[in-house]
């Protein structure tokens, strides 16, 4: 099993409303699309100016696929999707300021923000996140 960070932009997408409507979502995942697998864990990092951090924990439900409706689009970013199921809200969220102040997590570059939609987590970072989030997991 691999742990991932998937990125969401709170300015472009009302994630809370989307998850309230359905815990099943598809996520654009052009990078590492050949490495995702059903059962992998996803930490959803919301980026932007206001309270960036990790807000949700989800599970990949199927391998990444090329969306037939978007296959004609020339942008790789728009074509590839990964189906995920949101399992937990992290309450309170693991905000960037906390992540960067935590030994063992502070050196992980994607917590400072990154370009792209997904990045795999090293095992030690995934374990540290799980430990930090354990008491905050609110089942959906």
Extents of the domains making up the chain:
3-139
pTM: 0.91
Q: Residue 83 and residue 125: Cα distance in Å, rounded?
A: 23
For residue 122, the 8-state DSSP code is P
Least confident range of 16-20, 26-30, 112-116, 125-129: 112-116
Q: Convert the pLDDT of each residue in 23-78 to its tens digit.
A: 999 988 888 888 999 999 999 999 877 889 999 999 999 999 988 776 666 566 67
Categorize the per-residue pLDDT at 129 as very low, low, confident or very high, splitting at 50, 70 and 90.
very high
H/E segment holding residue 20: helix 15-21
Class of domain 3-139: alpha beta
> Is the pLDDT confidence value at 115 over 70?
no
pLDDT for position 75: 65
Q: Residue 29 and residue 118: Cα distance in Å, rounded?
A: 6
Mean pLDDT of all residues in the chain?
Answer: 89
Q: Which residues contact 131 (CB under 8 A, 6 or more apart)?
A: none
Least confident range of 51-55, 77-81, 134-138: 77-81
**Which residue, 55, 50, 39, 35, is CA-closest to 118?**
35
């Amino acid at each position: 099993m691999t742990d991932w960070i998937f990125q969401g932009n709170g300015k472009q997408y009302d994630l809370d409303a989307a998850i309230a409507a359905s815990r099943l979502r598809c996520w654009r995942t052009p990078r590492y699309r050949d490495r995702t697998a059903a059962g992998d864990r996803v930490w959803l990092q919301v980026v932007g100016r206001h309270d960036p951090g990790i807000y949700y924990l989800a599970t990949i439900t199927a391998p990444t696929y090329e969306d037939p409706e978007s296959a004609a689009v020339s942008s790789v970013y728009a074509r590839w999707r990964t189906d995920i199921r949101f399992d937990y809200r992290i309450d309170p969220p693991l905000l960037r300021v906390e992540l960067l102040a935590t030994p063992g997590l502070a050196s992980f570059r994607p917590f400072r923000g990154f370009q792209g939609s997904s990045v795999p987590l090293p095992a030690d970072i995934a374990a540290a996140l799980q430990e930090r989030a354990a008491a905050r997991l609110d089942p959906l």
